[in-house]
Amino acid sequence: MRILVSGPPAVGKTRQGILLSRELGLPHVSSGALIREAAAAGEPVARRLLDIVADGSLAPSEEITRLVLERLSAEDCRDGFVLDGFPRKWQEAEGLLDHLRPDAVFVLKADATILRERLDTRIRQGRADDDPRALRRRMDAYEQETRRAQLVFRLACVPVHAIDAAREAGDVSRDILSRLPAREPVDASAPCFS
């Protein structure tokens, strides 16, 4: 099962990714964590990506797509994965689809007031990429870019589900689990819409 979790900053993507990973027995892959881990390992490209992301900008599509696809090609992802935070741009969605087809995309949504409260909490906890100015840029980038990436999946007949993420994390996780597609392979030649 190949699951993507998408949504704006502070909506709970990583938390849901971890919960789903545990429930389904699949590896959790976070694009942000990949960048941080590669930078900590001394990879110069990842260090540059980390600086870009910390500023609130989106990472260059080619470099982040390469990093994500490299991780998803690992043996532990052979039977599936839960990927959060990627793709953020339509080019990345197309790049992902060139190599693999997700079984479902879950788009977490919450009211702006709730997101601001969660962001304030994260800022107090001191996450490096949660500088208030960087966060505003990340929110703008989400509005402009990530919704277009979701459209790419819809046009490719990948099920895209909107999920109310304003609820308790367990309720959100149960909602996602209830919407998972059947495990049988999808007929790629079948029409998207009936």
Distance CA 183, CA 174 (A): 17
Q: Residue 66, annotated ligand binder?
A: no
Cα–Cα distance for residue pair 175/67, rounded to 1 Å? 30
CA distances (Å), origin 81, targets 15, 27, 104, 128 = 15, 5, 11, 26
Query: Is 85 labelled a binding residue?
Result: yes
Residue 127 assigned as binding residue: yes
Q: How far is CA 82 from the centre of its chain?
A: 9
Q: Is 87 a known ligand-binding residue? A: yes
Distance between CA atoms of 33 and 64, rounded to whole angstroms? 12
Q: Is 88 annotated as a binding residue?
A: yes
Pairing of strands 81-84, 160-164: unpaired
**Residue 86 annotated as binding?**
yes
**Residues 173 and 19: beta-carbon distance below 8 Å:** yes
31 annotated binding-site participant: yes
Binding-site positions for ATP: 122, 167
Binding-site positions: 31, 36, 85-88, 122, 127, 138, 167
Binding-site positions for AMP: 31, 36, 85-88, 127, 138
